[in-house]
Amino acid sequence: MNMSRNDPPLYIRVHENDNVAIVVNSNGLTAGTEFPCGLVLKEHIPQGHKVALSDIAKGGNIVRYGEIIGYAVRDISRGCWIDESLVVLPEAPALASLPLATNPPPAMPPLEGYTFEGYRNADGSVGTRNLLGITTSVHCVAGVVDYVVQIIERQLLPRYPNVDGVVALNHLYGCGVAINAPAAVVPIRTIHNLALNANFGGEIMIVSLGCEKLQPERLLEGTPDVQTISLGDEDVVRLQDEKHLGFESMVNDILQVAERHLQRLNQRKRETVPASELIVGMQCGGSDAFSGVTANPAVGFASDLLVRCGATVMFSEVTEVRDAVHLLTPRVVSKEVGQRLLEEMAWYDNYLNMGQTDRSANPSPGNKKGGLANVVEKALGSIAKSGRSAIVEVLSAGQRPTKRGLIYAATPASDFVCGTQQMASGITLQVFTTGRGTPYGLAVIPVIKMATRNALADRWHDLMDINAGTIATGEETIEQVGWRLFELILDIASGRKKTWSDRWGIHNALSVFNPAPVT
């Protein structure tokens, strides 16, 4: 599927107003290359990088996705390579003046009859896996919990064949932190809500040290915006309790509590449920210039299909939405939801400002190598994941939704932080698009990884689950890839297929967002 040097030269122009396009061919295109439209390249342009479709004067608008992604640092001739150094970063959209809920898209026709095989829980939620999750109140206990997890895997799990696995919900929070700082609500809520992920079937247990700041009671109570988790004392193991006469005593106690939960989890069976029970997170990482024209639009199309099924879809990553937020504010269902969106953007502006940095800290070197000049271009490609549905709710980091449909869940853009936060917000499956490639995976939920380019899909044949590069070469349409992704989501959610990261068993650690100081 890779284009060879002899393939015809190809570029992608996204919008009719664009004065730039990106080069599709795998090895880039050399100076002198002529396109059917008459455009001749004045210099070599790497794959994914931008070519000027017309002369652009110094200071002139550089337009992609029909939006200004920057200003020309000097005169740029038609056919030249617009590398990142030629693009002056525009100001971010001013939050005060944005139109709110001016154009919420009407509901698309419902999609009926799509189902998956899920685990229905007592609270009405539906999981895609059947896991024992061991919540920890503080990192101090991580070594002990890891030790116990190995014993559970070796000795207990074989006796409970309906249980898919056991996950230590280890994190670096819980003590040595400013637990009463205003921003501490984020990590506390996150750890609280992670325990409620539908894949754990409501079988919550906590391993605590005893002296930590995040006492189990506080973890269970969470923050003012969440519902307290009721948990009997028999499900909380405190290592410092006087009854524990040493390490082996602790281990045995945790094993006993774990086994009680395994017995109940083993009763869980997959059953056919409507696709509306899915909660899917959309994320991108290691993005390139193709992300916004292949994988992310296909994800957006699949997102719309899910929303039409009545399912819940979340997109996130504040710094990769901030510069395109003016395209989102008209799409929210109400002024209130719009205000919430602005609040989340403003919170992050302030957070970056306090750290004496700003949104230009994004994109990464690899993003740039992949053709993304700046965070504006990255954001315009990133929000394509949200499709065309109305945005019905906005969540702060780690909050759980109260509505179905398309939701903006504010999180950092960091892959593993976003993944952790979306899991706290309740996703039971994640779709992750990448142009540069990442082996990213999560232990709690399946992650479907989608390549933006054929070359990556080919090279990483045993890591990428689905390829959207065919959109760039014209082999498939956005709609076709979107439908393929939608079907794959149902297959993976049902356990009929397995993602590559799950087949290899490679998973990233939890990375709970803690914007407050450590002490």
Q: Note whether 347 binds a copy of itself by CB under 8 A.
A: no
Q: Note whether 141 binds a copy of itself by CB under 8 A.
A: yes
Q: Note whether 185 binds a copy of itself by CB under 8 A.
A: no
Q: How far is the CB of 250 from a copy of itself (least distance, A)?
A: 8
Q: Note whether 213 binds a copy of itself by CB under 8 A.
A: yes
Asked whether 465 and 487 are in contact (CB, 8 A), the reply is: no
Asked whether 284 and 433 are in contact (CB, 8 A), the reply is: yes
Of the listed pieces 105-113, 177-185, 422-430, 481-489, which binds a copy of itself according to CB under 8 A? Answer: 177-185
- Report the residue number, 72 or 250, with the smaller CB distance to a copy of itself: 250
CA distance 37 to 26: 20
- Report the residue number, 72 or 447, with the smaller CB distance to a copy of itself: 447
Q: Residue 500 pairs with which residues in a beta bridge?
A: none
Q: How many residues bind a copy of itself (CB under 8 A)?
A: 85
Asked whether 298 and 387 are in contact (CB, 8 A), the reply is: no
- DSSP code per residue over 87-99: EEPPPPPPGGG--
Q: Residue 314 pairs with which residues in a beta bridge?
A: 281, 407
Residue 435 token pair: 């142009």
Question: Which of 71, 347, 416, 483 is in the footprint of a copy of itself by CB under 8 A?
Answer: 416
Q: How far is the CB of 360 from a copy of itself (least distance, A)?
A: 9
Span 455-494, contacts to a copy of itself by CB under 8 A: 459-463
Q: How far is the CB of 251 from a copy of itself (least distance, A)?
A: 9
CA distance 169 to 146: 10
CA distance 259 to 59: 67
Q: Note whether 513 binds a copy of itself by CB under 8 A.
A: yes
Question: Which of 98, 134, 191, 239 is in the footprint of a copy of itself by CB under 8 A?
Answer: 239
CA distance 46 to 421: 35
Span 390-409, contacts to a copy of itself by CB under 8 A: none
Q: How far is the CB of 2 from a copy of itself (least distance, A)?
A: 11
- Residues 419-458: x where in contact with a copy of itself by CB under 8 A, - otherwise, as a string: -----------------xxxxxx-----------------
- Residues 151-170: x where in contact with a copy of itself by CB under 8 A, - otherwise, as a string: -------------------x
- Report the residue number, 105 or 176, with the smaller CB distance to a copy of itself: 176
CA distance 138 to 158: 29
Q: What is the length of the chain? A: 519
Q: How far is the CB of 27 from a copy of itself (least distance, A)?
A: 11
Asked whether 90 and 60 are in contact (CB, 8 A), the reply is: no
50 sits in which H/E element: strand 50-52
Q: Note whether 247 binds a copy of itself by CB under 8 A.
A: yes
Q: Note whether 136 binds a copy of itself by CB under 8 A.
A: no
Q: Note whether 107 binds a copy of itself by CB under 8 A.
A: no
- From the centroid of its chain, how far is CA 429? 10
Prior bond to 363 cis, omega within 30?
yes
- Report the residue number, 304 or 377, with the smaller CB distance to a copy of itself: 377
CA distance 176 to 210: 14
∠ Cα 235 241 245 (to 5°): 110
Those residues with Cβ within 8 angstroms of residue 21's Cβ, 6 or more apart along the chain or in another chain: 11, 12, 13, 50, 51, 53
Q: Note whether 91 binds a copy of itself by CB under 8 A.
A: no
- Report the residue number, 1 or 57, with the smaller CB distance to a copy of itself: 1
Q: How far is the CB of 11 from a copy of itself (least distance, A)?
A: 22
Q: Note whether 35 binds a copy of itself by CB under 8 A.
A: no
